[in-house]
Amino acid sequence: MASNLDHLRIDPDRMLAAFNELSQIGATGDGGVDRPTFSEAHLAARKWFRDQIEKTGLEFHTDGAGNHSASLPCGPKASPTLLLGSHLDSVPKGGRFDGALGVMAAFEVLRTVKDAGLKLKVNLEAIDFTDEEGTLVGLLGSGALTGRIDRDLLLSPRGGRQSLEEGLRRAVLSDDSVLAAARQKNTLAGYLELHIEQGKRLERTGINIGIVSAIVGISSYRLTFTGRADHAGTTTMQDRLDASQGASAFILSAREIVIKEFPDCVVNIGKMELIPGAFNIIPARAELWLEFRGPNEKEFTRLDTALIECARNEARRFGLELKTDFLGKHSPTPMSAGPQKAFMDACDTLRLTHTPLVSGAGHDGQSFADICPVGMIFVPSVEGASHAPREFTEWEDCVNGANVLLQAALRFP
């Protein structure tokens, strides 16, 4: 029996046909897709997925957060469900693989198990999560399903309240329906996802599959350096309290600190504003948008302290005051041991090389931490390109990933 299952494979041509059809919805003409959450193209992709599910004789299911799924009751009665999935929304003018590949692979896994008439220990569900990319809220569908979305978050979402209201209306959903989408923990056996790497590590090393060990934590601050506005021509260099100097020194020091002391972390200052902002006035204020990411809580906390201390020191050095506004944090999410082991065994069965990787991007899997076992794999991204139309993964790699997902699901739990 076990060896029979070891030989089961997805149908690569069938998956390719579905993937190519999906890629046409919201296609930008240069290989990419433009499907922000609840845009016309995104709604069309969702409708297409629903039609595909119904055509194949799988059960279609949707919830108050607009998550769309195919389910296959292949487990014993009342057994929990193993979710396989990703997302069909994209960033504006994004690539056709990000998210879509994971949903199509999950769907193909269910079709393969259905065609083989297999009975497993769990039921299977292939799910398309709403708004993973954060056009409206970010991890909206997976967060709602795992009970992590509350009313406050819906009242001040990152995409703005008006966009959320309009979006929900277009999809015939509401705040109340989103909040009612939470499932009972004991109905979930686990969550597994296949995604493109969106980086160059697999390509560079020639390894087939990345088994995600953790999804990084992300923290953000607004830092305000305050000095004094003065005449830019008549004030000597020694007499200036120039906010831009302290802010710039911090940007360069932050880079040094991360490179030297935090090799697994990254820091980004994505925006800097100088006030009042004129040729002939010394900047009185500099506002910086700081974001940093780290793979485990200990490093992440240490980095937080180091960066804020660095900002204080640089402010002092230039005679400035520093104000720190903490804007929010997602803790690092370790992936569960069970799914990592299932993925490793699946790779070995398929004779595919694998390596542990930390995900530098956020994913729906984060929503499942502390809820049920969660695991994720990556397939190589050509040139590491992502969130752009040139995003590409060789079809052979997509098929490898889908087969690993299948074999891991067969081994679950």
Give contact residues for Zn ion (rule: CB under 5 A). Answer: 98-99
Closest to Zn ion by CB, 98 or 197: 98
User: Smallest distance from the beta carbon of 344 to Zn ion, in angstroms?
Assistant: 23
- Reduce the secondary structure of 285-317 to three states and give it as a string: EEEEEEEEEECCHHHHHHHHHHHHHHHHHHHHH
User: Smallest distance from the beta carbon of 412 to Zn ion, in angstroms?
Assistant: 22
* Distances 137 to 152, 154, 162, 289, 349 between C-alpha atoms, Å: 12, 8, 12, 19, 39
User: Smallest distance from the beta carbon of 86 to Zn ion, in angstroms?
Assistant: 6
Cα 184 from Cα 281, distance rounded (Å):
59
Q: Write the DSSP symbol of residue 133.
A: S
User: Smallest distance from the beta carbon of 193 to Zn ion, in angstroms?
Assistant: 9
Other C-beta atoms lying within 10 Å of the C-beta of residue 283: 26
Q: Which residue is nearest to Zn ion (CB)?
A: 99
Which SS3 state, helix, strand or coil, does residue 356 take? strand
Closest to Zn ion by CB, 125 or 133: 133
Which SS3 state, helix, strand or coil, does residue 334 take? strand
Closest to Zn ion by CB, 154 or 376: 376
Closest to Zn ion by CB, 284 or 335: 335
Pairing of strands 81-86, 123-128: parallel
Pairing of strands 123-128, 68-72: antiparallel
Q: Which residue is it, tokens 């929010």?
A: 328
Q: Which residue is it, tokens 């305050």?
A: 226
Closest to Zn ion by CB, 216 or 290: 216
Q: Which residue is it, tokens 């690569």?
A: 12
User: Smallest distance from the beta carbon of 97 to Zn ion, in angstroms?
Assistant: 9
Q: Which ranges of 10-99 does DSSP label H, i.e. alpha helix?
A: 12-23, 40-55
User: Smallest distance from the beta carbon of 99 to Zn ion, in angstroms?
Assistant: 4
Closest to Zn ion by CB, 88 or 144: 88
User: Smallest distance from the beta carbon of 399 to Zn ion, in angstroms?
Assistant: 19
Say if residues 32 and 391 touch (Cβ distance below 8 Å).
yes
Closest to Zn ion by CB, 36 or 99: 99
